[in-house]
Structure 1
Amino acid sequence: MLVSKIHRARVTGTDLNYIGSITIDETLMQAAGILAWELVQVADITNGARLETYVIPGDAGTGTVQINGAAAHLVQPGDLVIIMAFAWLDAMELERHHPKVILVDEQNRVVDVRDGHPL
């Protein structure tokens, strides 16, 4: 089940030689409830690519969204992406679950937080 997503974040950089992961501004991680080392799916709005990787925190307030390692072949700086976190939920959790949607501006600053409502 989708737990949270950061919607239309702009990729600020790539590092092909890094050992893997996506680096995300810690402020964005906290807003979305995404933890360090958590598995996320990244959908590139610009080119349609999808990938899975794990998260490492970037400096808070910088707007960093950097794709690292082999995934850097799939995404370019300036691309718009959706970063999605998922979790297994039991039946009781499903009854009250609403995914958190984090909307950001062009500098990847939080502009709105929605609780399960369609965009």
Structure 2
Amino acid sequence: MKRIMHKSKIHRAVVTEANLDYVGSITIDQDLLEAADILPNEKVQVVNNNNGQRLETYVIAGERGSGVICLNGAAARKAEIGDEVIIISYSCFDDKKAKQLNPKIVMVNDNNELM
């Protein structure tokens, strides 16, 4: 049996941009992606702590060290600049691995810098 499990997350990041004139996705600082083991084009869930909105999209790598968290396209309607979000990555694991899984949790400060 395979289980879909929480693999990693970027916890309490702050939205820095919302770009409606884009095809879609979320742009995330490359440093944060690496710390959370999230790859460009990987599917993620974005949970907005300010308004309760949830969405699924794919990741675009942003400029390293920029702190960028930018919702693009239709996703830009789900958050405002300054909103706090949790970005969650999931993966499929067999039963044995799922029971041993320790998800990576990346904590950031108000400037989306690693803590």
Q: State the TM-score, normalized to the length of structure 2.
A: 0.95
* Aligned alpha-carbon RMSD (Å): 0.6
Q: Which runs of 4+ in 1 moved over 4 A?
A: none
Structure 2 residues without counterparts, runs of 5 or longer:
none
Q: State the TM-score, normalized to the length of structure 1.
A: 0.92
* Greater relative contact order, per chain length (Cα 8 Å cut-off, separation 6+): 2
Q: 1:58 aligned to 2:62?
A: yes
* Identical columns (%): 48
Query: Structure 2 CA distance, aligned partners of 1:58 and 1:78?
Result: 18
1:6 to 7, 10, 13: 10
Query: Structure 1 CA distance, aligned partners of 2:100 and 2:17?
Result: 37
Equivalent in the alignment of 1:83 = 87
Q: How many residues align?
A: 111
Q: CA deviation at 1:92?
A: 2.1
3-state SS, counterpart of residue 93 of structure 2:
coil
